[in-house]
Amino acid sequence: MEPSVTALIHAAILEDVGAGDVTSAYFIPESSRSRAEIVAREAGVVSGADIAVAVFKEIDPALEVEVCIPDGGVFERGSILMKASGSTRSLLTAERTALNFLQRLCGVATLTRTYVDAVKPHPVQVWDTRKTTPGWRLIEKAAVKHGGGTNHRMGLYDHAMVKDNHLAANGDLAALQAAIHRLRRERPGVRVQLEAATLGQVRDFLALDGVDMLLLDNMTPEQHREAVELVSGRLWLEASGGITLETIRDVAATGVNAISVGALTHSARALDLALDLY
């Protein structure tokens, strides 16, 4: 597990447990042992199973934890996602933190699967964005993959995306070309993408060397089709901006290579999961 994810788990436990679970300490006998199941109250796609296990084990390494449906697996209402057994106090102390991670990440995976299903049968990728919960980017982007989506750039460091504000500050074509050449020399493994808000910008950007892809920002399906014809396979095209479940199939039919949807991470709701104790 990535160190940043381990640190996030530790922070979440500290936030909830603090100096100790006073309810369990005073109201549950120390000798009490129980079994627990995490049960789905609605259908969805699993993500975060390994993180939930890590929470239980961090609270009490002696707990026995079994993943019944792994990350990426589909479940129905009533499905058992995970089982755990051991100290009742430990199970109850871990319950909320484990569920917080699991419910949120299952929500992202489930919403992603809904979007991925909506573009079928068109061969287009559904991409996430950087619109993630601060500190949760790695695990939310993992949830997107579990739902069948594709990760776009992880951060500002691994993919150059020249957006509208960059262009407003330094959008001269000669300056853009010089910057691209410099980036190619100094960071040859970094992809270069330019954001185009108009078909005129698409034409201008096609004249530049070293561009890998274009982002078509807030264009109509008709404009997407025209951009696809203009580019004619020379660059990857990403459609972005205000695309919803109601409109994504029309965009997918235009021939773009990818559709990015910020809602996958910034608007996914937590799924209804519960821990039942026996």
Dihedral angle at the C-alpha atoms of 207, 208, 212, 216, nearest 10 degrees?
-60
Which residues neighbour 79 within 8 Å (Cβ) at sequence distance 6 or greater?
39, 40, 68, 69
Tokens 């707990």 sit on residue: 63
* Amino acid (1-letter code) at residue 276: D
191, containing H or E segment: strand 191-196
Active-site residue, from 33, 77, 163, 203: 163
Active-site residue, from 131, 184, 191, 249: 131
CA distance 75 to 128: 23
Residue 247 φ/ψ, nearest 5 degrees: -110, -10
Active-site residue, from 16, 217, 226, 272: 217
Tell me the two tokens of residue 116: 């991925």
| 145 in catalytic set | no
| 163 in catalytic set | yes
| 246 in catalytic set | no
Active-site residue, from 96, 184, 191, 225: 96
Among candidate residues 204, 201, 250, 254, the one with its CA nearest the CA of residue 226:
254
Active-site residue, from 21, 71, 140, 195: 195
Q: Provide, for the chain, the percentages of residues in helix, strand and coil under a 3-state DSSP scheme, each rounded to the nearest 5.
A: 45, 20, 35
Chain centroid offset of residue 161 CA? 19
CA distance 80 to 49: 12
Which residue numbers are catalytic?
96, 131, 163, 195, 217
